[in-house]
Structure 1
Amino acid sequence: MKRDDLLHTEKILADRKTFYLDLKQNARGKVVKITEECSGNRDTIMLPTEVLGDFIDALTDIKSTADSSD
């Protein structure tokens, strides 16, 4: 994807890691690119926006479980 395909970006700092969440668009549609950077190493996943709601729901459930076990 070209740089001009970037529609929105967010950056989250967590300890020694940085997470980048980029909304991009290509010929097949929109995707969220999630990148974790730590000590110069990067890992990335691409998430089609069609499943973004399911992904957010799952993260919300995980957060609820984590919060209740504290």
Structure 2
Amino acid sequence: MVQSDLLHTEKILADRKTFFLDLKENARGMVVKITEDVGGNRDTIMVPAELLGDFIAALTDIKATADSHG
């Protein structure tokens, strides 16, 4: 297991779900850990920090599409 340090965290509450966004750093670099908690059941994805720009751009495009349909 690789030791990591928490650099920043955000929490988003939505209905029955809680999302945690944690910026962590370890020996391999920085990563954003995104965790969805629904009643104690958790799913997590890891996004390398160097991909955050692409990830945010994709989410921005998705939001624009959702906004135009809402």
Once the two structures are superposed, residues 27-52 of structure 1 have per-residue CA deviations (whole angstroms, 9 ceiling, x without a partner) of 00000000000011000001000100
Q: Which of structure 1's runs of 4+ aligned residues deviate more than 3 A?
A: none
Q: How many residues align?
A: 69
Aligned to 2:18: 18
Aligned to 2:62: 62
Cα RMSD of the aligned pairs, angstroms, is 1.1
Gaps of 5+ in 2: none
Gaps of 5+ in 1: none
Aligned to 1:51: 51
Q: Secondary structure at the match of 1:34?
A: strand
* Residue identity opposite 1:47 in structure 2: V
Q: Secondary structure at the match of 2:37?
A: strand
